[in-house]
């Protein structure tokens, strides 16, 4: 009886292993935890990809206004902030509209001067 009780007491002590093999115990426990927790999934905190402002809009030669008010030059990608496809579509549409006689070439139509400033150009004062 006493011997059995001693075994019982010894077992929990051996499981603890506080003094000697601390590092090995922690590694094993970490590996066990890793197998449990690390499930392969996509980053749940991933933010949805933000598109450019014209992403879902249809660009037509009849409604384009991304040119400079002074010289009429088309703004580059770093100013308009559009993605590759849309920038190309917009510049093509501008060229088309200018050729057809819908949009002025050397300046911006005064009707559109009061549009909200989408392009990040610093106004020279």
Partner 1 sequence: MPRYELALILKAMQRPETAAALRRTVETLMERGAVVRDLENLGERLLPYKMTKHNQRHSRGSYFLVDFYAAPSILNGLLDHLHRDVDVVRPTVLKKDEQVSTSTTTCCGAPQSKNKSSIFK
Residues that bind partner 1 (CB under 8 A): 49-52, 55-56, 58, 61, 77-78, 81-86, 96, 98-106, 109, 118, 120
Instruction: Please say whether the beta carbons of 118 and 53 come within 8 A.
Output: yes
Which CB atom, from 21 or from 51, has the smaller least distance to partner 1?
A: 51
Provide the minimum distance between the beta carbon of 51 and partner 1 in the complex, in angstroms, as a whole number: 5
Q: Of the two residues 25 and 96, which places its CB atom closer to partner 1 in the complex?
A: 96
Closest CA to 54 of 98, 87, 77, 78: 87
Nearer to partner 1, 25 or 102 (CB): 102
Q: Looking at the chain, list the stretches that DSSP marks H as alpha helix, in order from N- to C-terminal side.
A: 2-16, 22-37, 77-80, 84-100
């Amino acid at each position: 009886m006493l011997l059995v009780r001693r075994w019982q007491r010894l077992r929990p002590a051996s499981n603890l292993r506080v003094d000697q093999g601390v590092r090995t115990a922690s590694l094993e426990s970490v590996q066990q935890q890793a197998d449990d927790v690390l499930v392969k999934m996509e980053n749940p905190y991933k933010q949805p990809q933000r598109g450019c402002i014209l992403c879902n809009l249809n660009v037509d030669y009849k409604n384009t206004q991304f040119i400079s008010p002074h010289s009429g030059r088309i703004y580059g990608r770093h100013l308009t902030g559009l993605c590759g496809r849309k920038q190309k579509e917009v510049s093509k549409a501008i060229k088309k509209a200018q050729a057809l006689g819908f949009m002025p070439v050397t300046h911006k139509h005064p009707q559109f001067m009061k549009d909200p400033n989408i392009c990040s150009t610093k106004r020279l004062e």
